[in-house]
């Protein structure tokens, strides 16, 4: 089970991806470059259990995961907190039906892998649920191109 961080002040970004190294990298990059806390989960069920205890601003989820896919995860999130926007990341060319998309109004955008961290950070800011989104902190880091 994923250990929860101490409750931070303000809304957080929740990352969900079953690839441990990928979630670690995304969590590090976004934590360093977004002025808000970021917490990653490698199991959608752990993220769902933690949701009521977290002040979630936005969720970034992978589509292809072994226990449930991204659409199933978003549907479960909406039952807990329908106001939380979701950004989906995927390496696949996904084509959803209108019915599938209608079942996940929280899904705001699909970002294809590979992507630059800045592109993902900009989507987080764009779909942040309140008028005070986190600021993007750019640096001369060698990770800027990831």
Which 8-state DSSP code applies to residue 6? P
15 and 26 in contact (C-beta within 8 Å)? yes
Split into its structural domains, the chain has a count of 1
The reply to whether 142 falls in a domain is no
Query: What range defines the domain where residue 37 resides?
Result: 12-127
Residue 71 covered by a domain:
yes
Regarding pTM above 0.75, the answer is yes
Q: Is residue 135 part of a domain?
A: no
Residue 16's beta-bridge partner residues?
41, 61
Structure tokens at 109: 């955008």
> What is the SS3 assignment for 118?
helix
Q: What is the pLDDT of residues 44-87, one digit of tens each?
A: 999 999 999 999 999 999 999 999 999 999 999 999 999 999 99
CATH number of the domain to which 50 belongs: 3.40.50.2300
Beta strands in the chain (DSSP E): 12-16, 38-41, 56-62, 86-90, 107-112
């Amino acid at each position: 089970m994923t250990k929860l961080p101490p409750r931070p002040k303000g809304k957080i970004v929740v990352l969900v991806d079953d690839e441990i190294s990928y979630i670690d990298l995304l969590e590090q990059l976004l934590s360093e470059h977004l002025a808000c806390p970021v917490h990653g989960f490698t199991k959608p069920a752990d993220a769902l259990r933690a949701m009521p205890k977290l002040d979630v601003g936005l969720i970034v989820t992978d589509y292809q995961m072994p226990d449930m896919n991204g659409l199933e995860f978003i549907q479960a999130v909406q039952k807990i907190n329908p106001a939380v926007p979701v950004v989906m990341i995927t390496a696949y060319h996904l084509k959803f039906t209108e019915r599938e998309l209608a079942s996940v109004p929280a899904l705001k955008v699909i970002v294809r892998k590979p992507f630059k961290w800045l592109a993902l950070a900009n989507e987080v800011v764009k779909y942040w649920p309140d008028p005070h989104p986190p600021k993007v902190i750019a640096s001369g880091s060698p990770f800027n191109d990831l």
